[in-house]
């Protein structure tokens, strides 16, 4: 993907969307960010990107033949909220994507990279997951993401869209001034860092009786910069025809190694040099014991291999971002 192109990034004011947008701009591409700022932040949109405040449903007013493709991050993404308010997730995630696909079809924009999730697999049991592993989501969030994957597959088959769905496992780290910030925060690494910063008194470990080496859940953590690289490689595969019109390629993204909740806490202690008190509570409903990815398809089809596989580097980058955010007025 050497020639500069123009791309629409939905959800580009969020964590992953902002990092991917920064990478696109660094490579000379023109980017329009579409975000309603319901969970994203205006200041997270990288300098140089055009910003339009609006919902995914507004894409029809933006897209035209000058766009080479769309990177679709915009979604409601809190598992617990999806259980309490499933209608919000079906409307935003499924309804929003249906409107986006219609807008792409009308404008003749026939390339899409979709931000999917490991939550499509549900509670699959131990072992690295492949794209052929059974999908059985345990939350409306995961169910809506899986429904969108099916919707995209149908669009490809019927209307010649070329698309890549990237199923992330856990993402951590930061890229310069672009990092993870949610209100409220629900992800483990930033929560533990809040304890190290003194913003929380302790971190709650949800269960220590899982069938894992230390009894806590094990997750595959991927550095957000490696994740951004996968998106650019997916765009390259769409541009050069490696993923041709009519194909929907699904790729798991992870580093293939699992880190337990206690290992994450211990890594934060080492990286920050600060105490992190931890207490143990009951399991959360629906938490799988182990989620680890096989990224063999991404390696074969996209030429992607993560380069930052150690947890300490992701934690150190996230720590630098958290301290910088903590210094903001």
Spatial distance between the Cα atoms of 197 and 214, rounded to a whole number of angstroms: 26
Task: Round to whole Å and give the CA distance between 227 and 239.
Answer: 19
Q: At what angle do helices 96-107 and 140-159 cross, to 10 degrees?
A: 20
Q: Can you spell out the DSSP letters for 212-243? A: STTSS-EE-EEEHHHHHHHHHHHHHHHHTTSS
Report the alpha-carbon distance of residue 194 to residue 201 in Å, rounded: 9
| Residues belonging to the active site | 141
**By three-state DSSP, how is residue 89 classified?**
helix
Alpha-carbon distance of 243 to 235, in angstroms, equals: 9
Instruction: Compute the distance between CA of residue 73 and CA of residue 9 in angstroms, rounded to an integer.
Output: 7
As a whole number of angstroms, the distance between CA 254 and CA 219 comes to: 10
Neighbours of 157 (CB within 10 A): 12
Report the C-alpha gap between 138 and 192 in whole angstroms: 25
Which single residue is written with the structure tokens 């913003």?
Answer: 199
């Amino acid at each position: 993907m050497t020639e500069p192109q123009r791309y629409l990034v939905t959800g580009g004011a969020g964590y992953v969307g902002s990092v991917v947008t920064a990478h696109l701009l660094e490579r000379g591409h023109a980017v329009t960010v579409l975000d309603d700022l319901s969970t994203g932040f205006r200041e997270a949109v990288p300098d140089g990107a055009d910003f339009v405040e609006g919902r995914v449903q507004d894409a029809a007013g933006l897209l035209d033949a000058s766009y080479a493709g769309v990177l679709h991050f915009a979604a409601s993404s809190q598992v617990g909220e999806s259980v309490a308010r499933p209608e919000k997730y079906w409307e935003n995630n499924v309804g929003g994507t249906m409107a986006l696909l219609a807008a792409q079809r009308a404008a003749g924009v026939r390339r899409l990279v979709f931000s999917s999730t490991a939550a499509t697999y549900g509670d699959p049991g131990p072992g690295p997951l492949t794209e052929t592993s059974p999908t059985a989501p345990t939350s409306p969030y995961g169910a809506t993401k899986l429904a969108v994957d099916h919707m995209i597959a149908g669009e490809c088959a019927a209307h010649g869209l070329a698309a890549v769905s990237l199923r992330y496992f856990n993402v951590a780290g930061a890229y310069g001034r672009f990092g993870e910030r949610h209100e409220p925060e629900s992800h483990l690494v930033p929560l533990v860092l809040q304890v190290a910063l003194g913003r929380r008194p302790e971190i709650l470990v949800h269960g220590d009786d899982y069938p894992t080496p230390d009894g806590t859940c094990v997750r595959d953590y991927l550095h957000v910069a490696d994740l951004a690289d996968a998106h650019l490689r997916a765009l390259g595969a769409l541009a050069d025809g490696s993923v041709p019109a009519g194909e929907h390629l699904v790729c798991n993204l992870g580093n293939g190694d699992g880190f337990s909740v206690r290992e994450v806490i211990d890594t934060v202690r080492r990286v920050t040099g600060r105490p992190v008190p931890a207490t143990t509570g009951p399991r959360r409903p629906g938490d799988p014991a182990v989620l680890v990815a096989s990224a063999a398809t991404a390696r074969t089809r996209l030429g992607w291999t993560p380069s930052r596989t150690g947890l300490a580097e992701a934690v150190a980058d996230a720590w630098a971002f958290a301290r910088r955010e903590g210094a903001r007025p």
